[in-house]
Chains A and B, each alone.
Chain A
Amino acid sequence: VSVKTKSRAKQLYWKPSYVDLDAMYPDLASAGIHFDDWDAWDDPFNISYRQYIDVQAKKELGFHPVRDAFERYNGDQHVPARWYDGMKLAFPFLQTAEVAAGRAHARTARYAPAPALRAAAFYQSIDEMRHFQNHIYELRTYNQADTGFDNWAAWRDNHFTMGPARYVYEDLMNCDNVFETIMALNICVEVVFTNLIFVGIPSVGALNGDTAMAQEMLTTQSDETRHMAIGQSTLRTLLRDERNVEQLQYWLDKWFWLQHRAVAGPVGLIPDYFAKRKYIPYQQMYQRYVIDNFIAGMVDDLAEFGLKPPRFLEDAKAELPDYSHTLYRVLFQYKNVLFNRMFVPDEHDMEFFTSNYPTFEANHGKFWDEVRAGDPKDLPQLPMLCQMCGLPCVFPVPERANVQCSMYEGAAYWFCSNGCKYIFDHEPYRYAHRVTMERTLNGLEVPEIRKRMGLAEHIGGLLTPDKDI
């Protein structure tokens, strides 16, 4: 029996007879976006329930035996200890992002003006359920092998390192305009950055013995390709009306930068630091999966419609030689208030850094020399966190941090970059009320800070030398 049945969901759209059209599909969901005939919108996949279930059941039956085998045959014994500490940061973050993405797609499924977009969003939404539940499978597996995985929900809610997940993904979920959601999620997350996360990082995971995680990430990415196609077709369709270009460009500028910060910052720690066995330096990985794939591919193709590369792309590229190193240094200074453990890079790491990052020694070498000489580098207060992205205001390097400030209604707001300030200046009402976590925690002693962030006594600190770091 063929399962290539057509989707019939689009046929089921009707114009309301007993309530107002605007009550059923409020203009708020597409305000300012122009399109002649929403009913004629096309979806490149047009998938049916039957097809979806058939394909996804096969994927699930393929993935879970790999994960089961990893647990059953003690796969964790082949994984260096430091890898788990990277995963402690990665999976609560990913889980938050996937839940928010699922709810964002649900709103598109209910309120998008085009029936075809609504129908497509049904499948995208349940895909995100698959992703967050498969990420939790990983957390369950890791939880059998190491400490620091058992209270991830509390850390997501209360820990300053998880602030960017909330700041960026909750905000993405709460967009009023579904096309901002699509630009943020389908384009800037799924087209631009998921290859980096779900294709690049699994290569590193496999090299470090984490075959379950590698398989989980790859099967996740197999769903993302569908989401990417929907995002690309939506963007291309909307760009045909020149009245949409300015708004779409702003959303591209905004959400590229926020993903560069919230996703691409923390991700860089994995290949450069938490991977004992190195794959390729993060800078090269970013070049391959973000710059070459996205900029050389989609953005160049869309130039004929007036779309330009993201406004802060050059800022992003300029940071790459220091991005992972700066962030790791900062986290190292707060190792007593983290839920993952940190470590001092060994000789092998340093050789990798100096041979792949020409400015590493000049910008970061002294810091690690002093650590090796006995300076723990612990800081008494949390760093100043960016009002927009929630990351510390330390980039490109702490000694020359590009800290920015804006005034709004008589108050000063601080930012880590030109990109974050630019977004705030465009939408200050949306973002001014956030209270960054260092403002509520600074002045408190470490035990109290740990308590407020939900850290049990044995959580965080430094990896001990008895482990295979």
Chain B
Amino acid sequence: MPARKTFVWLSGRKRPPSEYEELSTGIQWNGAPVSRTATGQWRSDSTLLSTDWNAVRDPAGMYYRNYVVGQDAAEKQLDSVFSLAAEADFVSAIDPAWRESLTVLVGAMSFAQWGASMVMQHVMRFTLSPTVACAVQLQIMDKLRAAERCVEWFEVLNSSADEKVLHTAWDSDPSIQPLHKYVEQVLVTKDWGEDVVAINLVLAGLFEPFLRELYVRGGRTHDDFVTAALGTHLAKDATRQVAWTDAFLAQCMVDEANATVIADWVGRWLPDAIAAMDALVAGYPAGGVAERAASVARAESRARLEKLNVKLSDNVATALEGVPK
């Protein structure tokens, strides 16, 4: 049987291209914009980064078809978890102190996830890389999933509360405000490369392991299997986001100018991200689980930055080493 023919820009390689590569490359065009508007299209001055935009690959190899089919199966699993919890009235058995802390956290995180997805819409609109655009498109949906599932769980935990209570956590709870401020500041940051660093490397570098530990380990500790299951699912989605981000940034880091820019961005955002996590820990009374989660998050964030060879200034490195109060 003759080998399958592929597109010119993917041919001539030892290994035939994957379905993912055929579906995700070649999709953007170059050249001068065809109309003069303030918005414009993707262009080289939309980020300080510069690399071979067409060479970026998502290690997970996700595209629309395998994404929706895979996520449909994952969503069915979560449906079952929520349904079983309702049928067996698991919520009333959850430790009240854990439940109270969790309610604030889950409610607030729904806004943070939604905010992150809004940031990523800007990234997708302006990125110069077709494969980054595809990965971001799916990440946006993951964040939407996380936001909606968090609201759903919040509503179960607070069945008598109205919508205002959901907003209260995000708008005025002191332990949430540094995170709230961080998300708003990224939302008005126009360099899409900086947005990727601020959300996917810096904030997610801390918050994804932090939330995973808090939800999964904390849920287990407090006999709360719904939160543990939710945390497991969201962590799986986050693993894909970390993978494409690190593949993209590792490719950028080969260039010294990019490495300097990325280190500057990390230096700018990381102290605020640490402060946001520490504020959450300080407002989280549930038996030391948050402190442990923050410690794991610091270690994983540090390891990730080291693996990418991101140079940290002394004060940022010290902040990452520090123990939350």
Contacts and interface: CB of A to CB of B under 8 A. Distances in A.
A110 B33 contact: no
A176 B7 contact: no
What's the interface size class on B, roughly? 35 or more
B88 interface: no
What's the interface size class on A, roughly? 35 or more
Interface in A151-169: 151-154, 156-157, 166-167
Contact of B38 (A11, A28, A134): A28
A14 B30 CA distance: 36
Interface string A136-156: 110110011000001111101
B75 A50 contact: yes
A414 B122 CA distance: 36
A139 B140 CA distance: 27
B5 A143 contact: yes
Contact of A19 (B24, B27, B187): B187
Contacts of A433: 32, 36
A53 interface: yes
A61 to B, nearest CB: 7
B148 A152 contact: no
Interface stretch (B61-69, B240-248, B257-265, B273-281): B61-69
Given A12-B110, A174-B35, A125 B41 contact: no
Contacts of A173: 41
A171 interface: yes
A14 B111 contact: yes
B167 A125 contact: no
B85 interface: no
Contact of B140 (A122, A134, A156, A174): A122
Contacts of B144: 9, 49, 122
Nearest to A143: B5
Contact of A12 (B80, B151, B188): B151
Interface stretch (A96-104, A278-286, A329-337): A96-104
A118 to B, nearest CB: 8
A129 interface: yes
A231 B114 CA distance: 24
Given A122-B117, A126-B64, A129-B137, A9 B148 contact: yes
B64 A143 contact: no
B220 interface: no
Interface stretch (B98-106, B177-185, B298-306): B177-185
Contacts of A133: 23-24, 63-65
B95 interface: no
Interface of A: 1, 3, 5, 7-9, 11-12, 14, 16-20, 23-24, 28, 48-50, 53-54, 56-57, 60-61, 64, 95-96, 99, 102-103, 106-107, 109-110, 118, 122, 125-126, 129-130, 132-134, 136-137, 139-140, 143-144, 150-154, 156-157, 166-167, 170-171, 173-176, 429-431, 433-434
Given A12-B114, A20-B188, A53-B68, 6 more contacts: A9-B144, A50-B79, A57-B69, A126-B137, A136-B27, A176-B37
